[in-house]
Structure 1
Amino acid sequence: MRYEAFIPGNIKKPKPDSPIEERSDFIRRKYELQQFLDTNVQIAKTTSTSFSSLGQSGLSNNIPQEKKNYDKQHTRLRQGLGQAFRNSWRRKEPEPKSAKKISTRGMVEFVGLIKVNVIRGTNLAIRDVMSSDPYVILSLGHQSMKTRVIKSNLNPIWNESLMLSIPDPIPPLKLQVYDKDTFTTDDRMGEAEIDIQPLVSAAKAYENSNIVESMQLGKWLASEDNTLVKDSVISLVEGKVKQEITLRLQNVERGELEIELECVPLTQ
């Protein structure tokens, strides 16, 4: 081959698995610098043109196969690097778990307020010698409030109203009754759970209503499958959506709790 007529002893012809730098250096010496040519052979000037000008002059059919392979491999490498950089640019760094928790809590939305009137307890369990000192804790999501303590009474009348915000999604309203102790941990006196979704739905439906007379909006029937002592009615009273509930306390030997709920949408 005229391009490889005289290869110096200190230069080895690269093999197919040789590094691309070694192969490109050999090809440049062979075609561009023409270091291995027979000095008696004259090569046309256009043949010694650099790689970039060959690609632009429309002479691709005259380019030796080794150079074509080099160009093809170089193009694949550039495309691969470009793809890697694009993927790196699109990739999102994972947020720290602690930061994610904080941002989630900060994004809690509220759909309204619920006013819970804790009316009375009936036939509550004895936790002291002859009686108990009951109070009620209300919980809705991460919020909690409690009533005052009524001393030595198994049929306490609180008539105490507590207000809680309603988060979205709407969790159940939880009620827990405790006996207040001075020197030991307070004793449990039962608990109950209420689904307030029907009440919230009714309040949203009638929040812009001009109805002034009282009317029944829905009824929650007492059965063996729930803790209701009697049917619970959702009513519209003077433009306010309310629900009266009497519950049988759970996880205790006896006791009932009577409450009244009122839902206030945030638009009011």
Structure 2
Amino acid sequence: MLCVDKSQKHYLFLFHYSSATRFSYKNPRTRQKTRIGGDMENLVGLLRIRVKRGINLVSRDSNTSDPFVVVTMGSQKLKTRGVENSCNPEWDDELTLGINDPNQPVILEVFDKDTFTSHDTMGDAEIDIKPFFEAQGTDVQELSDGTEIRRVKPSGNNCLAEESRIIFSNGKIVQDMILKLRNVESGEVEIQIEWIDVTGSSDL
């Protein structure tokens, strides 16, 4: 049994059933449902992605949509719940990827849920996690809460709609992003990412 984070009691344990297991649990502190994927045998850490909300998403059905988000990294594919009849949905869902190769791209896609036909695409974006991983080497012992570690500007190498700050918050390094969706007329998705280190975990 692998303990994700012994210092934070609200994290539950991941049970190692196979090399490519999917996990799902409810966070007892926030009551948010978290889905976890990945190869547990070669795990170097977890990337928790909090999918907060969509902004001005395109309408697909009668001037509205029933959007949900799919996050893909390699063979891992996790999705949020759907929100009915909204072009500005608030998901507030947590999706957690098991990271084996930090260089693999993380793709976020938005779909309009259809019951009887295939889901309509509503745009996609790549989550550029390279600056965030580089920030994990920061010595945080002397940092006060809210300290900015790095600021990432929008560029052709990322899908940021505006500047993104990597900060030290509540004892963790986190990054808030607003992603501009590609291959669609309009739409943005607000997320927050957090790294969960498992290298110091021990069996219980």
Deviations 1:158-205 (A, max 9, x none): 111111111224312110000000110000000000121221222244
Residue 237 of structure 1 corresponds to which residue in structure 2? 169
- Change beyond 3 A, Cα 1:209–1:265: farther
Question: Which structure ranks higher in relative contact order (CA pairs < 8 Å, sequence separation ≥ 6)?
Answer: 2
Quote the offset at 1:129 in angstroms. 1.8
Give the CA deviation at 1:112: 1.1
The structure number with the bigger radius of gyration is 1
Q: Does 1:259 align with 2:159?
A: no
Q: Determine which of 148, 153, 157 is the counterpart of 2:86.
A: 153
In the aligned structure 2, how far is the partner of 1:265 from the partner of 1:198?
17
129-138 or 166-175, which deviates more: 166-175
1:111 paired with 2:44, answer yes
| Structure 2: distance between partners of 1:106 and 1:267 | 15
Please say if residues 112 and 166 of structure 1, whose CA atoms lie closer than 8 Å, have aligned partners that are also in contact: yes
Sequence identity (%): 40
2:120 to 171, 187, 194: 187
Q: Distance in 2 between matches of 1:174 and 1:224?
A: 16
Matched pairs, number: 163
Q: Distance in 2 between matches of 1:108 and 1:267?
A: 12
Could you give the per-residue CA deviations for residues 202-256 of structure 1, whole angstroms, max 9, x where no partner exists? Answer: 22444x7364533111111124664221100111112201000001100011111
CA distance in 2, matches of 1:145, 1:107: 16
Residues 65, 112 of structure 2: 8 Å contact kept: yes
Partner of 2:132: 199
Q: CA 1:171–1:224 in structure 2 vs 1: closer, same or farther (change >3 Å)?
A: closer
Residues 1-268 of structure 1 correspond to what in structure 2 (within 5 A)? Answer: 109-206=42-139, 209=141, 211-223=143-155, 226-267=158-199
Aligned 8 A contact 1:245 1:258 in 2: yes
TM-aligned CA deviation for residue 108 of structure 1: 6.8
Q: Could you say if the C-alpha distance between residues 110 and 210 of structure 1 is closer, same or farther in structure 2, counting changes exceeding 3 Å?
A: farther
User: Is the Cα–Cα contact under 8 Å of residues 171 and 195 in structure 1 kept in the other structure?
Assistant: no
Query: SS at 1:182's partner residue?
Result: coil
C-alpha distance after superposition, 1:121-180 (max 9, x if no partner): 011111112211000001122211100010010000111111111122431211000000
Whole-Å Cα distance in 2 between the matches of residues 107 and 242 of structure 1?
23
TM value normalised by structure 2: 0.73
Aligned-residue offset at 1:116: 0.6
Whichever structure has more helix as a proportion of its residues is 1
Instruction: Give the SS at the match of 1:153.
Output: coil
Task: Note the C-alpha offset of 1:264.
Answer: 1.5
Any gaps of 5 or more consecutive residues in structure 2?
1-37
- Judge conservation of contact 1:113–1:264 (CA < 8 Å) in 2: yes
Which consecutive unaligned segments of at least 5 residues does structure 1 have? 1-104
Cα deviation, 1:85-117, whole Å, max 9, x if unaligned, reads: xxxxxxxxxxxxxxxxxxxx9897332111111
TM-score (norm 1): 0.56
- Alpha-carbon distance in 1 for matches of 2:165, 2:40: 34
